[in-house]
Amino acid sequence: MGDDRKFLADDLDEEFQVTAASAGVRAARRWYWKQIWLSAPPLVARRAATFGASLMTLLAARQREPRTLMLANVTADLRYAWRTSRRAPVLTISVVLAIALGIAASTAIFSVMEGVFLRPLPFQRPERLVRFSTSVTNVGQVPEVNYLDARDWQAASTRLEAIGLYDVEPGDVRVGNDVPALAATVMLTTADVIPILGIQPHLGRVLSRDEYVYGATPGVMLGYKFWKARFGGDATAVGRMLQLGGARHRIVGVLPPEADRFPAGGADVWTALTFSPSSFLNQRGSIALSAVGRLSGDATLAAAKEEIATIAARLAAAYPDTNRNRTVRIDPLQDAMVGPIKPMMVLLALAVAMLLALASANIANLLLAQAHARSLEFGVRAALGASSGRVARQLWTEAFALFALAGGLGVALAHPLAQWLVSRYPETLPLAADVTLDRRVLAMAASCTLAAALLAGWPRTRRLRGSLLGTDLHGDARGGLTRGHARMTNLFVAAQVSISIVLLFGGVLLSRTFVNLTSTAPGFIPEGVIAVRASVPPIPHAGAAQIAAFQDRLRDAARSVPGVSSAAHAMFIPFAPGTWGDGYRRAGTADSPPQGPMAHFFMVSPDYFEVMGMPIIIGRGLSPSDREGSAPVIVVGETFARKAFPGADPVGRRIEWNDGTWEIVGVTADVRHAALSDPLDADVYVPRAQVVRGNTWLLLKTSRPSAAVLMELQQRVKSIHPDVALTDAETMEARLAESAAPARFRAIVTGALATLALLLAIVGLHGIVSFAVAQRTREIGVRLALGQHPAAVVRVVLLDTARTVAIGMVPGVLVSVYAGKWLSSVVLVNADPTAVLSGVVILFFAAALAAASGPAWRASRVDPLVALRTP
């Protein structure tokens, strides 16, 4: 058809002239375009048909080739590939390692993602399970619900079979005479949770309904993993006694392995969730329990949502004080479980995919350079009668053999890497199944390998087939580059530069974020401070004064431990779950809580500031004489003072809160609450003795190792009351580190990927520049012979490199700008993206020039005589 194009165009012209003469130019133009429009389909169809025909001819020819010969060819090709790769061991090893790393990382991430996202939870009809969460105006979404609300939903709903409530708590478990107690995750549930999930006991029984009633002494069920680890899978564990949080319980059964998939990370011990009618859990105001439900019959999720929304609206009308600002949300259980870790997983997947693409581009260029060196070899083979198809097969056999090796190695590395990822993952991974290399994962690894092989092998094959058409036969392997080859090389260099810029940018941004985070002052001095939660047993008929006195006794016991310089107790502490956020009214103003100003209220003992190293900036701290019955006083943080009383001395001002009027007596420093990245907020410190609540944190300032201190504390506390349980013991430093753990993990992983990317790109660039210099030896020789200064040669090579890198950077920088925006929308970013990007660009330039300087120097040392004499 190609030949006919000219005739066709001429014909159109001829008729256009005729039509224009008879009907006018406008009509002729219209006719012309109509002709073109109508001509396209038949011509395209014709082209497709001829292409198809030639393909069929080719395939038919292939078929005629005897099978045995083909097989023999493959074996010969493989043998030849082996010899070729032995001749270039460095190339072979670097190709295999780079690709193996890429495949290993991609496969590991994919196998984790499969366990998290693609496998269903191992419960009966898991798609019918839902989880509830609450949205509160001005606060946002919390993954918990109110107990009474949930009971009302359950009573009124027809589209939900049941709603179960649960709470996962860290606890301590003692079996027999174990000292010390084991830290354990305790799952407290209402009676409906186990039936909702459809769990049957592995051994023994599950709790009966009457064991879920307040006042009953419930038995406990062991998680399967815990049973295997602690009891070695001994069936006689059932029936034995176990001490949990100060009380003795009988082990009634062992749960099946599936139960370890819920909640995320599993629980060691399951028992009944009970609380006294006067508990805060039993009040409309609290939102503290997780809820799981099962859709009934054939009710859809949408229908259930609608129904619950109606019920919630009714509750909001009935209890406006608490429920007015509340809406309920229902999500499929697994979605709710995996939701929080999705951004991180997507981030990891993208990063490893980019690393794999980078490695492939790198290999493509290596192979391309090698192909140039081998063009003479293939020219000879073609001259001896090898068809271009035969040569292509040889090349592909080489490439696939190399990549198959790398893929195998990658898969072998993938499993340990995935295990590492799961064990080091900073949050609990909601794995629905174990991370395994199953068929899906292996298929994924195979397709990654294949894609990488195609991407890396294609340019070389194209290039060598081109060289078989005779373009290179006259030349030699040391001649100049063809233009097509140079263009392809530059394209792959640009791709490498771009990808590594993006990966570097991400890695540095997240590493910088972590560094900035850990250098943020928390507002208190965490060094040497141990925080431990003390569960105070219910003291019958105890008034506020007795409870306060009991807490003071615990504090005094802590202070009496040798090596403890000071001790305090507090209801909530920073970097531990739980805060008391509340509205208040500045006395004499029209502030109307909860819409008005908000603050975090910390109920602390007077020594709190000393233990935490928080300075009193103005006024006084709290004193032991600020007790129940004395004038209500508070100490506020600087941000509170600035927000509530801008430009004025806050000391002596009053606020109304919690049915009282409180006078500010001092100002202290601001603290971060739950994460170092939290903005500073308004804080209020209230004397514990003036707002008494049961459970408490003990804080100890010590220079001794925490284990020894805790051991002694335990003994002292026991002598006060045998049922006081100490849990959650950790230093404040460890708590700070934990809060930064996700950022640290992201920094490590993306930092490692970025380093790899930079290395790959630099090694690749070095190879390309070396190759280009080798190709230009003769030209450089001529330049030097004509009197050019060697320094000028170095400059030319470096400038060439800089230009190639600069062009390659453009897409990388553009993508980075968007990547930065995306990153800060999904994970914590605490660094200036622009500064990081400029730094990365400069770093990359410097590294690229360093990589090019070796070859450039070699170029300047070329001996003109040798260069010109060499063929």
Partner 1 sequence: MAKGDFVGEFELYVMLALAHLGDDAYGVTIRREIESRTDRTVAIGAVYATLARLEEKGLVRFRLSDPEPVQGGRAKKHFTLTQSGMRMLRHSTSMLGRMMAGLSPDLKGGRS
The CA distance from 101 to 409, in Å, is 8
R_g (Cα) of the chain, nearest Å: 37
Judged by beta carbon, residue 34 or residue 487, the one nearer partner 1 is: 34
Size of the site for partner 1 (CB under 8 A): 20
Q: By CB neighbour count within 10 A (0-12 exposed, 13-18 middle, 19+ buried), where does 689 fall?
A: buried
Instruction: Name the residue nearer to partner 1 (CB basis): 38 or 786.
Output: 38
Contact of 389 with 480, CB cutoff 8 Å: no
Q: What is the 3-state secondary structure (H, E, C) of 352-380?
A: HHHHHHHHHHHHHHHHHHHHHHCHHHHHH
**How far apart (Å, rounded) are the C-alpha atoms in residues 340 and 164?**
22
Shortest distance (Å) from residue 21 CB to partner 1 = 14
User: Measured from the CB atom, is 14 or 556 closer to partner 1?
Assistant: 14
Which of 15/733 has CB closer to partner 1? 15
* Sole window of 9-17, 80-88, 227-235, 827-835 interacting with partner 1 (rule: CB under 8 A): 9-17
Q: Please say which residue, 9 or 229, places its beta carbon nearer to partner 1.
A: 9
Nearest distance from residue 61's CB to partner 1, in Å? 19
Q: What is the 3-state secondary structure (H, E, C) of 595-647?
A: CCCEEEEEEECCCHHHHHCCCEEEECCCCCCCCCCCCCEEEEEHHHHHHHCCC
Question: What is residue 481's three-state secondary structure?
Answer: coil
Cα of 126 vs its chain's centroid, Å: 25
Residue 5 Cβ vs partner 1, minimum distance, rounded to whole Å: 9
Farthest CA pair distance, the chain: 117
User: Residues 529, 787: contact at Cβ < 8 Å?
Assistant: no
* Cα dihedral value 842, 846, 849, 851, nearest 10: -130
CB of 7 to partner 1, least distance (A): 5
CB 603 within 8 A of CB 570: yes
Q: Is 427 in the site for partner 1 (CB under 8 A)?
A: no
For residue 240, CA distances in Å to 176, 208, 250, 267, 273 come to 9, 18, 6, 19, 21
Identify the residue among 22, 42, 155, 646 touching partner 1 (CB under 8 A): 42
Q: Which is nearer to partner 1, 57 or 715 (CB)?
A: 57
132 to 171: interface string for partner 1, x by CB under 8 A: ----------------------------------------
Residues 20-39 that bind partner 1 (CB under 8 A): 34-36, 38-39
| Cβ closest to partner 1, residue 4 vs residue 127 | 4
How far, in Å, CA of 381 to CA of 45, rounded? Answer: 37
Nearer to partner 1, 42 or 646 (CB): 42
What is the smallest separation between the CB atom of 30 and partner 1, expressed in angstroms? Answer: 12
- Candidates 1, 247, 720, 826: give the one binding partner 1 (CB under 8 A): 1
Name the phi and psi angles at 588, rounded to 5: 85, 10
Least distance to partner 1, CB of residue 12, Å: 6
Q: Any contact of residue 11 with partner 1 (CB under 8 A)?
A: yes
Among 21, 23, 25, 43, binds partner 1 (CB under 8 A): 43
Q: Which stretch binds partner 1 (CB under 8 A): 11-19, 140-148, 525-533, 694-702?
A: 11-19
Cβ atoms of residues 314 and 106 within 8 Å: no
Residue 45 near partner 1 by CB under 8 A: yes
Q: Minimum Å distance from CB 24 to partner 1?
A: 18
In 720-760, at which residue ranges do the beta strands (DSSP E only) sit?
A: 725-731
40 binds partner 1 (CB under 8 A): yes
Binding of partner 1 at residue 370 (CB under 8 A)?
A: no
CB of residue 31 to partner 1, shortest distance in Å: 9
Q: How far is the CB of 49 from partner 1 (least distance, A)?
A: 8
Spatial neighbors of 227 by CB under 8 A, at least 6 apart, are: 202, 203, 233, 237, 254
Provide the minimum distance between the beta carbon of 62 and partner 1 in the complex, in angstroms, as a whole number: 23
Per residue, the 3-state secondary structure of 656-714, as one string, reads: EECCEEEEEEEEECCCCCCCCCCCCCCEEEEEHHHCCCCCEEEEEEECCCHHHHHHHHH
Distance CA 110, CA 103 (A): 10
| Smaller CB separation from partner 1, 14 or 234 | 14
Query: Nearest distance from residue 20's CB to partner 1, in Å?
Result: 14
CB of 18 to partner 1, least distance (A): 8
Q: Would you state the structure tokens that stand for residue 812, as one six-digit string?
A: 């990388």
Q: Closer to partner 1 at the Cβ: 10 or 556?
A: 10
- Contact call for residue 46 and partner 1 (CB under 8 A): yes
Does 12 bind partner 1 (CB under 8 A)? Our answer is yes
Residue 151 — left, alpha, or beta (φ > 0 → left; ψ -120 to 50 → alpha)? alpha
Residue 14 binds to partner 1 (criterion: CB under 8 A): yes
- Which residues bind to partner 1, rule: CB under 8 A? 1, 4, 7-8, 10-12, 14-15, 34-36, 38-43, 45-46
